[in-house]
Structure formats: structure tokens, C-alpha cells
Amino acid sequence: MDANFEKLFDKIRIEMQLQTKEITENLMTKMDEKLQPLVEENCKLKQKVELLEKKVELLEREKKKNSLMIFGLEETERSSFALVEAVVQEINNLGVKLEIQDINKVQRVGQKQENGRARPITLTLTNSWKRIEILKYKKNSNKIYITEDFPKPILEIRRSLQHKLVAERNKGNYAYISYDKLIVKENKQNKKEKDRQLVAPKKELQSRRSTQSRCTKLVGKMPST
């Protein structure tokens, strides 16, 4: 009786497990069927967002392609026109001929500082070749500092690359940041030294093999006793 009851109990348990598994699978299938359109829609939305982000990035880059940032110019001007004149004077001091008609917009960035510290200046030019010329001669001034005008996301990337830039330069490599990429060119002297270090063990191995070969030949030529 107990044995029959045990068998019946096992049979019921197995049937319940099978039913539970079947119900679970059916539920999962139905959930997948309902979720699949949502997953596909989510993927499409992500693609649209990525596309929009790229478009925004391109628009930002296009917007700033004729712009520069100027740091270190004393904030003594009393009008916007006075600021324009001061900027024109400083650029001309670099050795670049800049006229007022070459400028589209000049303005200070941020709120005025209570400590009197000069705010940076955004200089937007009417053409890109004048911008390139200014960047070429920017080191001629020890008074102001000029950089490209980058969008905020690009500035963050450039800041994050600074420690890698320093590390590569400490290795003796030629390294610089181009927009949002770190460009590294290995120092020729370092490369030659690495090549010598790689070649030396090979030459030593070849020399050993050559010596062993000569010794083997000499032993072979010796008369047997």
C-alpha cells in the first residue's frame, strides 16, 4: 500500500513539474512575443538618437569651424566695439593682418569675475583661412593664449587624453591631440634602439649556431684513434 502510494505521489509530482514547465514556457513565449516589438522599437529609437547626436555634433563643429578662444586679454574695455578693437590689435601684434570686416562676432564668455580676472573671449571670423593663419602665428604672443573653440563633449575628451599625451611625450615620442584623437609618432631613435635590441639576440643565436657547426665539422675531420 505504501509502495503504491509512493508511486502515485511520484507520478503526480512529475505531472505537476511537467505542467509547471509547460505553463512557464507558454508564459515566457507570450512575454517574448509582447516584448519583441518593444525591443525592436527600442533599438530603432537608439539608432535615431545616435543619428541625432551625430547631426548635433556635426552642426556644433560646423558652427565653431571659424571660431577661436582667446585667453589672457585684460578686461578693461567699456563697450563691445572697444573689445573688437582690442582683439584686432592683439591679433595684428601676432603678425597676422586682421581687420574689423574679418570678424563676425566677438564676446566675453561667462559672468564677470569679482576678482577682476579676465574672462575668455570667443572670436568668430568670417572665413576659416584667417582662423588657420591666426593659429599658425599664435605662439608669437606671450600675453594672450589662443586655442580652437571646441564643443563641450570634445573638450572633455581632450582633457581625458591629457595624461596619455604626457605619458607618450615622457617616452620620447612625438604626440599631440587632433580634435578628439591622440596621435602618437614613435621617436626614430627609440625605434632604432628597439630594433637593435630585437636584432642582437638573433645575431647572437646565429653566431652560436655557426660556432657549433664549425666545431662539429672539425671534430668530424679529426682522425680516429
pLDDT 10s digits, 12-66: 778 888 878 878 887 788 777 777 888 888 899 899 999 998 898 888 888 899 9
Model pLDDT for residues 140-194, shown as the tens digit of each residue: 999 999 999 998 888 899 999 999 999 999 999 999 998 889 999 988 766 566 5
pLDDT of residue 222: 53
Judge whether residue 198 has pLDDT over 80.
Answer: no
Can you tell me which residue has the cell 543619428?
51
Q: Which residue has the higher pLDDT, 9 or 67?
A: 67
Judge whether residue 219 has pLDDT over 60.
Answer: no
Q: Residue 62: left if φ>0, alpha if ψ -120 to 50, beta else—which one? A: alpha
Can you tell me which residue has the cell 595624461?
163
Question: How many Å from the N-terminal Cα to the C-terminal Cα in the chain?
Answer: 98
Global confidence as pTM: 0.60
Cα separation, 71 vs 163, in Å, equals 23
Mean pLDDT of the chain: 84
pLDDT of residue 57: 85
Judge whether residue 216 has pLDDT over 70.
Answer: no
Judge whether residue 225 has pLDDT over 90.
Answer: no
pLDDT of residue 109: 94
Judge whether residue 3 has pLDDT over 60.
Answer: yes
Model pLDDT for residues 135-155, shown as the tens digit of each residue: 999 999 999 999 999 988 888
User: Where do the DSSP E strands lie in 7-143?
Assistant: 67-71, 103-108, 121-125
pLDDT of residue 17: 81
CB-based contact 105:160 (threshold 8 Å): no
Judge whether residue 5 has pLDDT over 70.
Answer: no
Q: Which residue has the higher pLDDT, 64 or 114?
A: 64
How many residues are given for the chain? Answer: 225
pLDDT of residue 116: 82
